[in-house]
Structure 1
């Protein structure tokens, strides 16, 4: 990112003093170097996640059982692209070359949850993704909406928060409908078997291993990774229990929190879509950085349009 020579960033002390007064940060000239880099980092993750969900969801939406179902899925995809546009627009205001960020980055350099690199191959899996993945997005963005100190993002998330609620409700209602038959129940169970733990992973490293403390120190978000993970499980696990789906988590009254009933974290075979025994978080980080089987294909679908447009312009020149 290039900053105008005339622009002077604030000191860390002055930014922290502003935040202690509960004053929002409204523009780049009110930021310190650490604040600027931190807000760019979290905005990039948010933007990339919303963007890549579009080809990921479309991959399954084509299996919609009815035209109305397909229309609902396309509406959700449209929302996700709108959410991505908001985050990229804010990044552009912070001096980021978003054209290069979207259309010139290598696929493995995109920053979004690993779960989206595992293709959804059926309508049932899309519904479970709405119930699990969009619930995770709602937990994360809802927390940012309530807590962020970056004023432009806080205001933009009013719209996003409402739309993410629709997405996860679409998943909940769809799961209840699918669950009405034995075959549907089994399809939901098959999806939950691999998708549940991928969503538990979604929230990142446990608090004792977290690297970017400025996300809490500077108020980019209000809750830690483990707190957000607990919040997600507090609604996802009861939904699964209502539908008699077996998932490896339950509420422990003595500890007053949700606990995971299996080895965690685990190795994951993304091709077989199967969990294969305990590993370390270092192993998980290696898997995340290597990306999954659909990474290149989904990013190519995003970047293809600009490449085709440039080719046409070259032919006409």
Structure 2
């Protein structure tokens, strides 16, 4: 028995529905371009949530107490739940999610480059909560407020609240560790490489953005550069409060946050060091680095895929 393929809407019918402020509820309400666009943004969201789990676990094992480890595992559990939501929505849109998760090559996963640089200490994990989860919150809050895709909008009500907990966890631990000189220095070392990686998180500048349908179709409400500003509007003040140096400040004349160093810049992922002395690079150079992925890409994807692969090997042996 074959399943009938849903009939897609014309572009004009779709735009008319959006103009009437009616949510897009299923494939039958979508045009071909809308369908491809929503699958693209959902895949990035799902992959980001999924890969954060092995990335965070890599550092969570260095938690200073059992209670701290439990909090980190709770965050990881949330991230897996968020990934499940996005992959389930993709499945409802006709995507083979088993293949997407378990058969893709590691370099084909679509998530921010920052997660390819291993978090190797408790301090780096909490800065990731304060920076990376703040970026996730910034992006998904924008989607929640603006998206025209009804099922995702409703699902994000839960995700939004949990991402708030994650970034607050990072903030509280940063304040706790910042109370003595040793803790402050450890935080500064992490901030030195993680701050600019999170500035990169929001993608290419608006002048180079290719997928303009994200704004036209209401997948999100703000552009990449606007989202970068929203993130810095809370991340920079947090660092200033803790007297942690970051290469950014608020320019009153321009009425926006500006970067105080070469940016974009070359990054040595192995040493976790920005090569600012070499001056700025181009965004095309950054794209090359992103596409090549970072040092932990293959290891983290292997951690996700190994259970399914082990099961398949066992089934082959049993036949």
TM-score bracket, normalised by the shorter chain, equals over 0.9
CA distance in 2, matches of 1:16, 1:295: 39
Q: Does 1:292 align with 2:294?
A: yes
What SS is found at the alignment partner of 2:275?
Answer: strand
Q: CA deviation at 1:8?
A: 1.4
User: Any residues of structure 2 matched to 1:177-192 within 5 Å, and which?
Assistant: 177-192=176-191
Tell me the alpha carbon deviations over residues 49-81 of structure 1, each in whole angstroms, 9 at most, x when there is no partner: 000000000000000000000000000000000
What is the rounded CA distance, in whole Å, between the counterparts of 1:313 and 1:203 in structure 2? 42
1:54 & 1:297 partners in 2: Cα distance? 12
User: 1:1-317, aligned counterparts within 5 Å?
Assistant: 6-277=5-276, 278-317=280-319
- Shift of residue 207, structure 1, vs aligned partner: 0.6
Deviation at 1:7, TM superposition (A): 2.1
Secondary structure of 1:266's aligned partner: coil
Give the drift of 1:310: 1.2
Aligned with 2:119: secondary structure? coil
TM-score scaled to structure 2, two decimals? 0.98
Write the deviation string for residues 167-189 of structure 1: whole angstroms up to 9, x where unpaired: 00000001000101101000000
SS at match of 2:246: coil
> Per the alignment, in what secondary structure is the counterpart of residue 266 of structure 2?
strand
Following superposition, the deviation at residue 232 of structure 1 comes to 0.2
CA distance in 1, matches of 2:296, 2:103: 18
Show structure 1 runs of 5+ residues with no match: none
Deviations along 1:78-102, one digit per CA (max 9) or x if unpaired, are 0000000000000000000000000
In 1, distance between residues paired with 2:185 and 2:155? 39
CA shift, 1:285, in A, is: 0.4
RMSD: 1.0
Q: 1:219 to 1:4 in 2, by over 3 A?
A: farther
Q: How many residues end up aligned between the 2 structures?
A: 315
Structure 1: 4+ residue segments shifted above 6 A: none
CA distance in 2, matches of 1:245, 1:79: 29
Residue 312 of structure 1 and its aligned partner are, at CA, apart by 1.7
**SS at structure 2 position matched to 1:186:** helix
**Cα offset for 1:5?**
5.5
Aligned mates of 1:173, 1:97 — CA distance in 2 = 40
Aligned equivalents of 2:38, 2:173: Cα separation in 1 = 35
2:111, 2:117 → 1: CA distance? 12
Cα shift readout 1:126-177 (whole Å, capped 9, x = no counterpart): 0000000000000000000010000000000000000000000000001000
**d(CA) in 2 for partners of 1:42, 1:146:** 15
- Give ranges in structure 2 of 5+ residues lacking alignment: none
SS of the equivalent of 2:38 reads: helix
1:83–1:6 CA distance, 2 compared to 1 (3 A) = closer
TM value normalised by structure 1: 0.98
